[in-house]
Amino acid sequence: MLRKCPAGYYPDVSEKAFIDPTAIICGRVTIQDNVFVGPYAVIRADEVDEDGNMQPIIIQEGSNIQDGVVIHSKGGAAVTIGARTSIAHRSIVHGPCSVGDDVFIGFNSVVFRTHIGNGSVIRHNCVIDGLDLPEAFHVPPVTAIGPDFDLNTIDKVPPEYSSFSESVVSANHALVEGYKTLANEL
């Protein structure tokens, strides 16, 4: 469901994207080509800052926002999801936040007040809050990273996780095409 927010913004969604009918996209949200937004996802850019301004949530081309994901912008802060990025089931991305290209964020993870570098892999049940991650960074399952965390204790992304991330993007791109085809049959 696409809906206008109280500040008057309405989502801008590419005709080449697929938004599941159960998903809610609200406010100043831009969704580019070949993006898949799964069932019960919620993407809301509906809060303003103290001056009444609001930055957008932007989901760049080829990314997938899976079942039950919540992307929200606190106090009008910007959120950017890079190209070919996967946000897995029931994760939360809360602005201010930017996620680079070719990133994988695993199931039930929470990302807030951070920049995630291109090609990074965040595994399941992680929390990243208040510390930026460099490119090609690997966060093991059930890891909590905050402002005082020593990033040198974690290795770069193993090759098998990069190829897994690419396969998830490919599978979801096929879903965009498949669901768009089904919609045209009705």
Q: What is the pLDDT of residues 21-43, one digit of tens each?
A: 999 999 999 999 999 999 999 99
**What per-residue confidence (pLDDT) applies to 162?**
66
**What per-residue confidence (pLDDT) applies to 176?**
80
Q: Which domains does the chain have, with CATH numbers?
A: 2-185 (2.160.10.10)
**What per-residue confidence (pLDDT) applies to 180?**
76
Mean pLDDT calculated for residue range 163-183: 75
Long-range contacts of 119-125 (CB under 8 A, 24+ apart): 119/157, 119/162, 120/157, 121/157, 121/161, 121/162, 121/164, 121/165, 124/88
pTM above 0.85, yes or no: yes
Q: What residue type is assigned to position 106 of the chain?
A: G
How many angstroms separate the Cα of 30 from the Cα of each of 80, 81, 98, 124? Answer: 10, 10, 14, 26
